[in-house]
Amino acid sequence: MKVITTISELDAELSAARAENRSIGLVPTMGALHAGHLSLVERAIAENDVTVVSIFVNPTQFNDKTDLANYPRTLEADCALLEKAGATIAFAPSVDTMYPEPDTRHFSYPPTDTVMEGSRRPGHFNGVCQIVSKLFMLVKPVRAYFGEKDFQQIAVIKAMVADLELPVEICACPIVREASGLALSSRNTLLTEAERELAVNISRTLKESVGYAQTHSVSETQRHVTDALNAIDGLRVEYYEIVNGDTLQAISDWNDAPYVVGCITVFCGGRPVRLIDNIKYKVTC
């Protein structure tokens, strides 16, 4: 595996691959890699000739500077994991490399990017679109892989790809969970052991709510999940929304959409650590 930090070197490597008609898969990450990322990398390796994994903590998507400063950075360990997994290239540029000038582009895909995370983290999805579009332009992948834990992010990226008519297939990959049910996240490393035990309640409550939803309305289910988690000392629900999984618009009746997903954000512990998760209540096909 090659670790590349400059655009010129990346370009040289990928131009050679493209000249040989080798397909390129991209897994964009912010590092602190875990088994969830590795599941994306494994799928990319299985489906493409060349797998590029970008490792870049993108400052423009953080609306909270403390969050950016605290974000875990573990480049050496990440590269060791990627080497073992069989990735072709780890692309780990500096902030100056990706943003030699401030990025003034503005991306707006309402309603996908205005609800849930969009309304709580102003500028977040604009920053995500800035970096992901740059990566797409540099790598020119045939396919790009994203985890469904960031459910809304996938919808926003799909909207951007459609808007810019980019020739890349967006591959959504299932959430990977610990045996406890906790969704894998780079932010989990910020949790103490006690907080980790608290956090397990998030996935447990979401899972239980699928049974509850069989005999209760959307608003009752929403309240049930929110109240159950808020009743636990150390957890605070920021939002729990039950939405049409295609449009991300809140639904009021289970029959409002063929694909229904519950999306949650919970503050965990004293610092606190902001955790997100989601559950599918109804799935098409």
Residue 33 lies near ligand PAF (rule: CB under 6 A): no
Q: How far is CA 268 from CA 8, 106, 200, 201, 240, in A?
A: 42, 32, 10, 10, 15
- The amino acid occupying position 149 is K
Stretch that binds ligand PAF, among 23-31, 95-103, 198-206, 265-273 (CB under 6 A): 23-31
> Quick check: 132 binds ligand PAF (CB under 6 A)?
yes
Q: Is 37 considered catalytic here?
A: yes
Stretch that binds ligand PAF, among 76-84, 125-133, 220-228, 276-284 (CB under 6 A): 125-133
> Does position 185 bind ligand PAF by CB under 6 A?
no
128 forms part of the interface with ligand PAF (CB under 6 A): yes
Selection from 198, 209, 208 nearest residue 266 by Cα: 198
Give the residue, chosen from 39, 58, 203, 265, that forms a contact with ligand PAF under the rule CB under 6 A.
Answer: 58
- Pairing, β 235-244 against β 2-4: unpaired
d(CA 127, CA 60): 5
Out of 10, 13, 25, 28, point to the residue binding ligand PAF (CB under 6 A). 28
Q: Which is nearer to ligand PAF, 136 or 281 (CB)?
A: 136
Closest to 18 (Cα-Cα) out of 49, 43, 60: 49
Separation between Cα atoms, residue 235 and residue 224, nearest integer Å: 15
Q: Are 238 and 268 a contacting pair, CB within 8 Å?
A: no
Q: Does 126 interact with ligand PAF (rule: CB under 6 A)? A: no
* Residue numbers at the binding site for ligand PAF (CB under 6 A): 28-30, 58, 61, 128, 131-132, 150, 153
